[in-house]
Chains A and B, each alone.
Chain A
Amino acid sequence: MRRSSMHRMLGLVLLTAPGLACYVGVTGGAPAADDGGGSDGGEEGSTGDEGDGDADAAVSSSGLTRLTRLEYEHTVTAIFGEALVADVDFAKLPPDGKVGRFTTNEGLDVNIDSVDAYRLVAEDVGEAAGAQAATLLGCEESPECVAAFITDYGRLIYRRPLTEAELGVFVQFWDNTRTEGTLADAMRLTVTAFLQTPDFLYRLEKGDPGDDDDVRRLTGYELASRLSFFLWESGPDEELLDAVAAGELDTEEGILAQTERLLADPRADETIVRFHGSWLGIDDLDALLVDPERFPEFEALRDDMKEETRQFILHVFREDDAQVSTLFAAEYSFASPELAAFYGDGVASTVDGQITLDGGQRRGVLTQASYLTAHARTPERAPIYRGRSLLIDVFCKELAPPPDVGTAIEFDSTASARVQIEDATSGPACAGCHNLINPLGFLFENYDGVGQWRTMDGVYPVEAAAEVVATDVNGTYANATEFVLRLGESAEVAECVSRQWLRFALSRPEGSEDEGSITAAFEQAGGDMHALIGAITRTDAFRHRRLPAP
Chain B
Amino acid sequence: MTRWRPSGGELDFVLSTQLAPLQAYRDRMLVLDGVDNEAAIIGPGGGHFGQGTMWTGVVVPTGTVRPEEMLGWPQGPSIDAVIGERIGGETKFPAYYWGTWPIATDGPNQGPNGICHYRGSEDPINPQLDPATAFDSLFEGVMGTDPAVADRIRAERKSVIDLVNGELNRVRTEMPTVDQERFDAHLDSLRELEMRISQVTAACEVPTRPSDFTQDQVHDFDMVHVFTRLQFELMRHALLCDLTRVACFDWPHSEGYGNYMEEEGYRPFGSIHTVAHTMSYDTPDLMPTDEERAIAREDMSNLTNWRSKMLATELLDKMPADILDNTLLVWASEMSEGGTHSNRNVPIVIVQGGNFGAFTAGRYLRWGEYDPINNYSQYTGGAPMNKLLVSICRAMGLDDVDVFGDPTISTGPLAELA
- Which residues of A line the B interface, CB within 8 A? 1-6, 8-12, 63-64, 69, 89, 91-92, 95-101, 103, 109-116, 119-120, 166, 169-170, 173, 176-177, 185, 189, 192-193, 196-199, 202, 204, 206, 216, 281, 283-284, 286-287, 289, 291-294, 377-378, 380, 385, 392, 401-405, 410-413, 458, 547-550
Contacts and interface: CB of A to CB of B under 8 A. Distances in A.
A293 B270 contact: yes
B167 A115 contact: no
A407 to B, nearest CB: 12
B102 A4 contact: yes
Interface string B22-59: 00000000000000000000111011110000000000
Given A3-B109, A103-B106, A411-B284, A281 B67 contact: yes
B245 interface: no
Contacts of B164: 193, 196-197
B273 interface: yes
B26 to A, nearest CB: 34
Contacts of A173: 159, 163
Contacts of B105: 95
B246 to A, nearest CB: 14
Interface in B70-106: 70, 102-106
Interface residues of B, number: 82
A275 B42 CA distance: 36
Given A110-B185, A197-B163, A549-B178, 13 more contacts: A3-B107, A4-B114, A5-B255, A8-B69, A112-B193, A173-B159, A189-B160, A286-B108, A294-B285, A294-B286, A402-B44, A404-B42, A413-B284
A193 B166 CA distance: 11
Interface in B179-219: 179, 182-183, 185-186, 189-190, 192-193, 196-197, 215-216, 219
Contacts of B163: 169-170, 173, 193, 197
Interface of B: 42-44, 46-49, 62, 64-65, 67-70, 102-111, 113-114, 119, 123-126, 130, 133, 136-137, 156-157, 159-160, 163-164, 166-168, 171, 174-179, 182-183, 185-186, 189-190, 192-193, 196-197, 215-216, 219-221, 252-253, 255-257, 270-271, 273-274, 282-286, 340-341
A289 B102 contact: no
A198 B164 CA distance: 8
A158 to B, nearest CB: 10
Nearest to B43: A404
Nearest to A292: B257
A432 B105 CA distance: 33
Residue of B108, B163, B255, B257 with most partner-chain A CB within 10 A: B108
B122 to A, nearest CB: 10
A206 B176 contact: yes
Contacts of A286: 108
A385 B157 CA distance: 50
Contact of B160 (A92, A101, A110, A192): A192
Contacts of B221: 2, 4
A169 B167 contact: yes
Contact of A284 (B108, B253, B283): B108
